[in-house]
Amino acid sequence: MLLYRGGNLRPLFESAVLLNRVERRENFFFSDYTTYHLGGRAKAAYFPSNLVEAKTVYDYLKKSGENFFILANGSNLLASDSGYDGAVLCTKKLKGVVRVDADTLFVLSGTSAGSLLRYCECNGLGGLEYLAGIPATIGGIACMNGGAGGRYISSNIISVRLYNGKDFVLSNKNCNFTYKHSTMRDINALICGVFLSVFPDSPQNIKAQVGRYLSKREFHPKGYSCGCVFKNPSGMSAGAVIESCRLSGYGSERAFVSPKHCNFIINNGATAGEVKALIDSVKRKVFNCLGIVLEEEVILLGDF
């Protein structure tokens, strides 16, 4: 017999029903869900398809006391070969764009940069073209204050809607955006969506600007990577710093510093441990050569 003291059983029943509807994968490997194609197994992964499901999963994992990691597109993550001792809440299915008013969009966190820009082009809304080609979701870009060409998404963010057991909103100011960082990196909360400022523009002009940004990214190295591994030191390019220390191509056949862009480390059949060892070696050599301490941009998950 189930005994429950404290009132209505309906909320508990509804949560259980919702949780059972969420896609759950036991056989989850980070190597299948990161651009590095590296990383071991998590205990389980949940793929909610809407915000109600996402909040239900968040509440369930929080109340269970189990470790859990919120994963977006996995484009800035190096997960350990030994995996992660916990569960994963993946936001990739939380997709959608709503036009709030003439110059404001609400974008669900799992929406890709590419699909957002297609929406903007179709609806004649400019100001976000610099996101073209970034292999990430809007929630991930907001969390990392990502961008390109000297522009960062913080310049378009009005506010961010989050959930940590209750809904709350952080204004742009309270996100405390700095270079490749925001408050969202420091708190355990689910990014539900982002309010972004845009402006009217012609679809032709938007398409042309997107094309220009994409053409600049054609020169990025090919192969499995997380993009730039290190943050740029003040007033300098991390890639140029690494190259000046004669580390172009440094590493092994399995994991190496890309000669095309020295802030990329390419996985060519390596383990996550080998990539992490190469990251550490590059940091040491740059410090010994120039006295510069490089700081990782890539997020490290698990034990290395």
Confidence of residue 11 (pLDDT cuts 50, 70, 90): low
pLDDT digits (tens, 9 = 90+) for 47-72: 999 999 999 999 999 999 999 999 99
Residues 6+ apart with CB under 8 A from 155: 147
What is the pLDDT at residue 4? 35
pTM to 2 decimal places = 0.91
State how far the Cα of 171 lies from the Cα of 188, in Å rounded to an integer: 17
pLDDT digits (tens, 9 = 90+) for 255-274: 999 999 999 999 999 999 99
What is the pLDDT at residue 10? 47
With left for phi above 0 and alpha for psi between -120 and 50, is residue 14 left, alpha or beta?
Answer: alpha
- Which residue in this structure is represented by tokens 């220009």? 212
What is the pLDDT at residue 9? 42
Does the structure show a pLDDT above 90 at 286?
yes
What is the pLDDT at residue 16? 79
Does the structure show a pLDDT above 70 at 2?
no
Q: Report CA Rg, the chain.
A: 21
Query: What is the β-pairing status of strands 41-47 and 84-90?
Result: parallel
Average pLDDT over residues 7-11: 48
Does the structure show a pLDDT above 90 at 1?
no
N-terminal to C-terminal alpha carbon distance within the chain:
46
State how far the Cα of 268 lies from the Cα of 113, in Å rounded to an integer: 26
With a pLDDT cut of 70, the percent of the chain lying above it is 95
Retrieve residue 4's tokens.
């429950």
> Which domains does the chain possess?
10-90 (3.30.43.10), 97-217 (3.30.465.10), 238-299 (3.90.78.10)
Average pLDDT over residues 77-96: 97
3-state helix, strand, coil in the chain (%, to 5): 35, 25, 40
Does the structure show a pLDDT above 70 at 244?
yes
Helices (H), ranges, 111-171: 113-123, 138-144
Retrieve residue 102's tokens.
């003439």
One-letter amino acid for residue 114 of the chain: G
Average pLDDT over residues 169-197: 97
What is the pLDDT at residue 13? 54
Which DSSP string do the residues of 243-292 spell out, in sequence order? HHTT-TT-B-SSEEE-SS-TT-EEESS--HHHHHHHHHHHHHHHHHHH--
Does the structure show a pLDDT above 50 at 7?
no
Mean pLDDT of the chain: 94
Confidence of residue 159 (pLDDT cuts 50, 70, 90): very high
**Is the CB of residue 192 less than 8 Å from the CB of residue 54?**
yes
What is the pLDDT at residue 47? 98
- Cα-Cα-Cα-Cα dihedral sign, residues 254, 256, 261, 267: positive
Does the structure show a pLDDT above 80 at 12?
no
pLDDT digits (tens, 9 = 90+) for 95-151: 999 999 999 999 999 999 999 999 999 999 999 999 999 999 999 999 999 999 889
Confidence of residue 17 (pLDDT cuts 50, 70, 90): confident
Retrieve residue 248's tokens.
């172009």
- Which residue in this structure is represented by tokens 């997709």? 95
State how far the Cα of 87 lies from the Cα of 129, in Å rounded to an integer: 34
Does the structure show a pLDDT above 50 at 295?
yes
